[in-house]
Every structure is written in C-alpha cells, then in structure tokens.
Structure 1
Amino acid sequence: MTKPLTHAKITPHRSSVRGHSNHGWLNTYHTFSFANWYDPQFVSFGSLRVLNEDRVKPKTGFPTHPHRDFEIFSYVLSGELTHRDSLLGGKESDDKDRFYRMKRGDVQFTTGGTGIAHSEFNEHTKNAVHFLQIWAIPWKRGLPPRYHTMNFDDEEKKKGFVTILSPLKGGPEATAEEEKKAEPTVEETIPIHADFAMGAGIIAPGQAFEWIVGGKATEANKRKVYVHLPMMKKGNSKIRLAGKEDDADAVLAEGDGAFVDAVHKGDKLSVENIGEVEAEVVVLDTA
C-alpha cells in the first residue's frame, strides 16, 4: 500500500448531491452549478468550472451553439459522439458534411476564445453515448479559437495514469507563433490555456496508481486535485484515495468525486481500486 498523503485534505462530493436533469434525450449529472441547477457550495474549484457526466440517446444531441472564453473538452467513455464546429481544419466552414466522430478514448478539446460555434450529436442508431463534458477557465480572455482531437489508448491507461491535458508552452504570454504551434508542456497531450492538467487511468481490482500532483507540467506549487469516478460498472466500482484506510471520506463509489486540497506540486496522490471490477478514474489538477 502506498504511504498515506497525510497532509491532503479530502472532501467527498457524493453523486447523490450532484445536480441532475433527465430530459429524455439527455441524462446529465452536474458536479458544479450548471444550467438551471445552482448550489453556492459548488461553483468552481481552481480553474475547473464544469464537470458534467452525460448520457445522450441515439439520434439526438446538442445543436449548434456558441462558446466564448472557456477551455471545453469532452472525454468519451462509451458510444459515439459526432462533433462539428465553425473552425474545421482551422478555416471557417459551413460544410455540414465535415465532422469528427469520436469513440471511446477520444478527447475533443475546444478553445472558445473570441468565439466558436459547435454541435455534439449521437448519430448512432441504437447505442447511447456516455461522456464527460469539462470546462476550465483560461488564464486570459480573447484567445484565438482552436480545437484538438486525440485518442488515448486503454492499454496505456491500464499501466498507470495517462496525462491527457497539459499547459500550452509559452504560458499566458505565448506569442502568436507559439499559439499556432500549439505545443503542450507534456508531449503527446492536448495543450490547454491554463495551469491545469488532466489524467485518466483504468485501475484493476487490488491495484493502486499514483498521480504526481501537477502532472509534471504545471507551474504553481500549491494545487488542488479533483478526482472523479464515472458511473460505468453498474455501481460496482470503488476506490480509495491517498492511502487513508481509516478515512471514510477517502472512499468513493461510482458517480462520486473528491476535492483534494492542501497538496503541492510533486506530491504523490495514490488511488487504490478496492472494488471487484476495473475502475476508470479521471483526475483534474488545477492551481
């Protein structure tokens, strides 16, 4: 068992207190205040602003709608999600036949910046799509709109946490050339305009993974980590954080999350699977 991270403050955010709306075509849970659900306790966590766990029925979805000044990303857990936007291929486009059809392990990332319009539809005829929709607050407003799509392999996630997002090289003062190159701090990740990192791992029963706080990429020493256990195994997944065996707050069931405070860059946050099935875990690391 990993040595407990004794100084970490862990506050669970139980699935039962999340905002929830079932619109028929969309069944959605909100970790933070969103749409018609508002709770002053849950507005943001560092630069993390939105974490929605969505299921969208076949042949339905989100019609074209605008965004500005948010970093928006979708992490596909199962099914298919078809993305269209107003900047396909880096050019303005009204061609409705140009799209990205995302599947499990794909991440679609959008910098809203000065303005972008996109749609996300489940065009499959039979199967629902299950994904996480996440928003982060960028380090400055008025950025050039941009998108990225990458796949992150399950087999790698079964070996340990895989870093998915890391800050853009150049930081808040990135030049136009650095923006164009869009190089992330960590190779083979998606660059984000924030002191923020995202990781994901698929942990087998009895195994424990370690997330290096800061993702080996971020700047601020004092950090916050939000850990989320998606609802994927019919309620049979269970994890424990930070090696705190006697702390009920450190045990998460499906749909639960946890605010991990009072941690610093370089700390090792352990996540142990104490259930009987695989647990897919997402970590969101912010200043």
Structure 2
Amino acid sequence: MSKTLHHVKITPHRSSARGHSNHGWLDTYHSFSFADWYNPNFTHFGSLRVLNEDRVKANSGFPMHPHRDFEIFSYILSGALTHSDSTMSKKQAEGGTQSELSCTVQRGDIQFTTAGRGVTHSEFNRGNETVHFLQIWAIPWRRGLTPRYHWGRYNDEDKRKGFVSLLSPLKGGVDASEAEEKAAEPTIPGTIAIHADFVMAAGIIQPGSKFEWAVGAKATESGKRKVYVHLPMTKGGKAKIRLDNREDAVLGEGDGAFVDGINAGDRLSVESVGEAEAEVIVLDTA
C-alpha cells in the first residue's frame, strides 16, 4: 500500500505512552499532560489541550469545581453522565425548570461548556453502570468569554455512514457581537459552536471499510491544519484503524495519532482493519 498524502507527517501516540491513574471511582488515561502527570512531549496540539479517556463508576463523579478560559466538552461512549453548573444555578434562582438545572447525556451525546471568565460545574454518574467518556479541552481564541452550556445528540447510524461533525467554530468568529454570542450559531449547521478554529467529528467504521475526513470541513479560513485522531477503548482491543494507507500508522484501541503538515481540503483516509467496528474521533485544529 502507498500513502496518498506525501506531504503529511503522521506520528502515532500509543496508549502505553499516556498518563494513567486509577482512583477506584475514576479510571482515567491522559493523552496530554494533565493533573499530576506531565510529559513535555505531550502538552497540546494546536488548540487541543486535554484529551482524557475516563471511566466513572456508578454513584460517583466530579463534585463542583471551577474552570476558566477553556472550552470543555465530553463525548459519551457508554453509560450516562449528569452535568450541573453555576450558569444553571442562576436559572434556579429565576425559577427554572428541572431540565434547566441539570442535564443528563447518554451514549453518543456531546456536552459542551465555555468556561470563559469563570464557571463551576459537576459531572456525576447517577446511573447503575460505569460511564465511559472522553473529556476534551480546547484553548479558546480569546479569554474572558461569557460562560455557557450546550449539548447535542448525534445518531450512531449517521456515524456508520461517514464522519459526523459535532463541533465547529462560532460563525461570528473571534470578534463576534453579543447577539452572535447569544445566538451561538456554528459554522457547520447542526453542530455546537466552539470559540476556536476547531472541528470535532466522530465516525463508526465497519471492519474492511474506509472513511475519509475532509480536513478543515470547509469551516475554516486557515489553510494549515493539525489533525489528532483517537481510537477509544470500546471493543476489548478488537478495533484497529489505519491512516492514509500507512503500515506505520496502524492504531489500536487507546492509541491516537498526530497528523501534521496537512492542509485544509486534504482528504485523510481512515480504514477499519480490526475485527470489530471502530469508533473514531477526529479533532481538527489550526
């Protein structure tokens, strides 16, 4: 097999190189430096700052804690996770409904928080089974944004047909007006708007099948891109993917890959070469 993107550098980031902590209630892997784990080789990639693969046991979770000046989002792989935050507490004071005071996201859902100038939130597993999810942080294009929360539900059947975009840049851009911020219109319809030159997508690829990711997703003015591909640990090690037809870019579960020197409009092939379907996460950043 021959690679098609000759100008592109692909560097696998093996699961064994990730940080790992097991706190009993939380079993977590860090693709980038986080908490007590620091590796100077893995600090960020473009605006991508954190990618944690977390499992939280039933009736446990993260109590209220503060964040600021990050875009923070979670993609649920299995189970359910209940989110509450300080923006919802303000709605409670105003007599908000229960659905406005917390939000429970399930398999395939994504939830998104702009921490901005300061937010406190909690993430709790109120179900009877372990929740497995990806927690991801991106660096926003400016500090001091107004905190906000959104969530979206995306169908697995759509993801089995091709990559489905989940997040895309706020249409108003870095200089968005207050009205544009409130409207929160994304560049790609049907996605959640993020304050960064950043697109997130997910696809579920059957063994022997191949998807292509259109770099930049026609949602950016930046020609030079960085793409991080992650294969979550969902199939007991039976899922594998190959990037750009390269034998040295075969990823197992828990592995990721830095795709550098790639351009908007390039098409990155992702082939499922394992025994089980592969749920692939693409993080495309300037």
Closer, same or farther in 2 for the Cα pair 1:25/1:93, shift >3 Å?
Answer: farther
Contact 1:87 1:93 in 2 (8 A): no
Residue equivalent to 2:280: 281
Residue equivalent to 2:267: 268
- What's the Cα RMSD here? 1.7
CA distance in 1, matches of 2:257, 2:3: 19
Q: 1:149 aligns with which of 143, 151, 155?
A: 151
Contact 1:2 1:270 in 2 (8 A): no
Closer, same or farther in 2 for the Cα pair 1:56/1:162, shift >3 Å?
Answer: same
After superposition, residues 7-46 of structure 1 pair within 5 angstroms as: 7-46=7-46
Closer, same or farther in 2 for the Cα pair 1:154/1:69, shift >3 Å?
Answer: same
After superposition, residues 45-124 of structure 1 pair within 5 angstroms as: 45-88=45-88, 91=91, 93=93, 98-124=101-127
CA distance in 2, matches of 1:158, 1:82: 26
Residue equivalent to 1:183: 185
Q: 2:244 aligns with which of 217, 220, 242?
A: 242
Residue equivalent to 1:233: 235
CA distance in 2, matches of 1:88, 1:148: 11
CA distance in 2, matches of 1:161, 1:5: 19
What is the Cα deviation at residue 87 of structure 1? 1.2
Cα deviation digits, residues 204-224 of structure 1 (max 9, x gap): 010000000012212210000
Q: Secondary structure at the match of 2:157?
A: helix
Q: Secondary structure at the match of 2:33?
A: coil
Residue equivalent to 1:160: 162
Q: Secondary structure at the match of 1:277?
A: coil
CA distance in 1, matches of 2:176, 2:92: 23
Q: Secondary structure at the match of 1:178?
A: helix
CA distance in 1, matches of 2:89, 2:223: 37
CA distance in 2, matches of 1:276, 1:10: 23
TM-score w.r.t. length of structure 1: 0.95
CA distance in 1, matches of 2:162, 2:280: 11
One-letter amino acid of the counterpart of residue 62, structure 1? F
Q: Secondary structure at the match of 1:171?
A: coil
TM-score w.r.t. length of structure 2: 0.96
Cα deviation digits, residues 1-33 of structure 1 (max 9, x gap): 997222210000000010000000000000000
CA distance in 2, matches of 1:90, 1:2: 56
CA distance in 2, matches of 1:174, 1:89: 26
CA distance in 2, matches of 1:261, 1:196: 15
Cα deviation digits, residues 262-287 of structure 1 (max 9, x gap): 10000000000001110000000000
Q: Which runs of 5+ in 1 are unaligned?
A: none
What is the Cα deviation at residue 191 of structure 1? 0.2
CA distance in 1, matches of 2:46, 2:250: 22
What is the Cα deviation at residue 92 of structure 1? 6.5
Closer, same or farther in 2 for the Cα pair 1:93/1:208, shift >3 Å?
Answer: farther
What is the Cα deviation at residue 96 of structure 1? 11
CA distance in 2, matches of 1:89, 1:62: 17
CA distance in 1, matches of 2:110, 2:54: 14
Number of residue equivalences? 283
What is the Cα deviation at residue 93 of structure 1? 5.0
What is the Cα deviation at residue 91 of structure 1? 3.5
CA distance in 1, matches of 2:97, 2:13: 40
